[in-house]
Structure formats: structure tokens, C-alpha cells
Amino acid sequence: MRCSTTRDERRPMARQKIAYISRGELDTTLVEQQLAGIDYDLTFQVCMSPGETIEAVKGADLVIGSRVPLTREVIQQMDAARASVTHGHGFDEIDHNAATDGGIVVANCAGFVTEEVSNHTLMMLLGCSRRLNFSQELVRSGAWGRSKAALPGILPTDEAVLGLVGVGNIGRAVARKAKPLGLEIIAHDPYLTPWDAREYGVGLVDSLMEVAEHSDFVSIHTPLNDETRHLISGPFFKAMKPTAYIINVSRGPIIDEKAMIEALQSGEIAGAGIDVFEQEPTPADNPLLKMDNVIVTPHSAGRSDVSGIVGATRVGEEAARVLKGMLPRSVVNPEVRGKANLRLGSRR
């Protein structure tokens, strides 16, 4: 356990307490820089079990988490917290329904890796459309002269349809960047208004199956929650074109991985670009790792030389807003504002 404490010992008011929890050691400097001028105690702890997490969050006004599950069991023991701020764009490690029940705001860092993840999506799309894995293997195996005849099924993007499942910050950036490639863009997102869809140049369709039926590339851009777990499963793959590709840079369990493997093995779809898996790290014997029509990366879509700096800064900014009695900018559970026990000051 490592503790750092601010600043002015002469102030009589009780300091606000921050529990900073992680699955591994982290440098908290960038986060604390955003808290300048706020009187607080910060305790950092590596938490590898629910019991350790429960002990770490007790008495904290604010919980900052990095890859530590905040289950209902843990949240029910958060006896003083009025908010939890999570590193990263995803928030699937937090039971946000339990947090809402407890009057606790959940904030993420939505948008801080939009450029990185949207670029990674397009890299996957172009790699699939140009059969990058297969071409590379031809060269490495010495089949240079036979490469043209051995590369059927390369689809020009200006004749293709990109189907988006979810049109949040990242989905919108993908749509914006895909337009110059000549792709027609359709999407299914029950939370996107028709006027927003027009603004982003996206054709809304009424169902997921329409995305499957009409798309040459399907790209997933939804959060992982009870509504989206295994959202893409066997019937979706059966509805896709046999020449189509699926791309997932969101969260692995949104796709039924077993069903996707079967669809790839049976030829129901042409290939895939996968950055995320149902189990991470994915086992070495995962069939997806052995298919020459599948591009795989190690949950790295959001990484860049600056994304870690931007992410930590955003965490600190959101933490500062909470400790100043303000709502964070990116609230996962806005319905919490109607809870009687929510306090924008201390809950003590």
C-alpha cells in the first residue's frame, strides 16, 4: 500500500478521501496534478480479490479504479463514496446498476482514445479487404510469382458497405474517416436519432439483421453490458454475406466467439479483424489465432504514445470535478441524479 497526502496541514476541515485501486502498480502523478488546490488523502492499493477491494474502498469519498471489478458486493460496501471514476473508455468491470441503486455516480473517460480506436478499426478493415495476412504469408513462403492468382476476393472499398453496430464517439469517428474511402455507411443504434445520423452521413436501419444482410464489413462499437453481451451470435453470422468481414475493437463478449469461429470455419463469412476476445489473454490454442483470414491484435486499439497520458489526465480532471461537488463530464449512469441519497458534497 502506498499513501500520498496533500497539502496544507493547517486547514481544520476533514480531507476528502480517495481510494485509488488497480490490478497492478500505477504512477498516480498525472492524476494528482489535476487535483492541485483540493484538500485530499489518496491511498493507492493493488487489489487482486473482492475482499481486498472491499477493504480498500471503505470510507472513501471517491473511488478511482483501473481494471478492478466493482461488483454489487463491493459497491454495497462503499459506505461513503459518492462517485467512482474508471480509467479508460469501457466500464464493463463496474456494476453500474448497483452503483445507481446506491446513489453513486459512475464516470468513465469516454472519447479519450477515439482517434486511436477508429484508426485501428480502419486498419483492420483495409487489412481484411486487401487480405493482408494471406499476402504476407505468400511473400514469406516464397510464393511471390503466384501472388496475383492466389489472391481472389479483394473487394474495392468504393463498392462496399460498412455496417456499424453502435454509433457513439468511436463509431462516429469511424464513419467520418471511412467516407473518403468511398464506403457506404449504414448503422443500427437504438439510441441514435435520425437527425444525428444524417449529420454523420450514416443510414440508419431498423434491425441488427439488416446490418448483417447488407454489409460487406461489420464493425462493433457498443459498450459491454447486459443488453449487448453476445449481441452478435449465430443468427447474425448466418445472415451475413459469405464475402463479408466482421471487425471487433470494442469488447470480446459482445460477440459469441464460438459462433464466430464456426462461421469462419464453415465459410459463412470471409474473415475477421479481432482486437478483443471473450477471454483475455486469449488461450494459445484459440482457433482464431491460426486462421489466415483473421487479423488479430492484443487489445491494443486504444494504445498510442500519448493515450496513457491523456487518459490519466482525464481521470484526474473527473476526480477533481467530483471532489469540488460537481458532476463528472462523462457519466455512465445519469439516472443516478434522481436518487435521494446522491450528494454533490460529501456523503458523510
Rounded CA-CA distance 318/39 in Å is: 16
- Residues classed as catalytic: 251, 280, 299
Report helix, strand or coil for 43: strand
| pLDDT tens digits in sequence order for the chain, 348 residues long | 444 444 444 444 578 999 999 999 999 999 999 999 999 999 999 999 999 999 999 999 999 999 999 999 999 999 999 999 998 888 899 999 999 999 999 999 988 999 999 999 999 999 999 999 888 888 888 877 665 555 667 888 998 999 999 999 999 999 999 999 999 999 999 999 999 999 999 999 999 999 999 999 999 999 999 999 999 999 999 999 999 999 999 999 999 999 999 999 999 999 999 999 999 999 999 999 999 999 999 999 999 999 999 999 999 999 999 999 999 999 999 999 876 344 554 444
pTM of the model: 0.89
Neighbour-count burial for 264-281, b at 16+ CB within 10 Å, e otherwise = beeebbbbbbbbbbbeee
Domains of the chain, CATH where assigned = 2-112+305-338 (3.40.50.720), 114-296 (3.40.50.720)
**CA separation for the pair 179, 176 (Å, rounded):** 6
Burial class of 25 by CB neighbour count within 10 A (0 to 12, 13 to 18, 19+): exposed
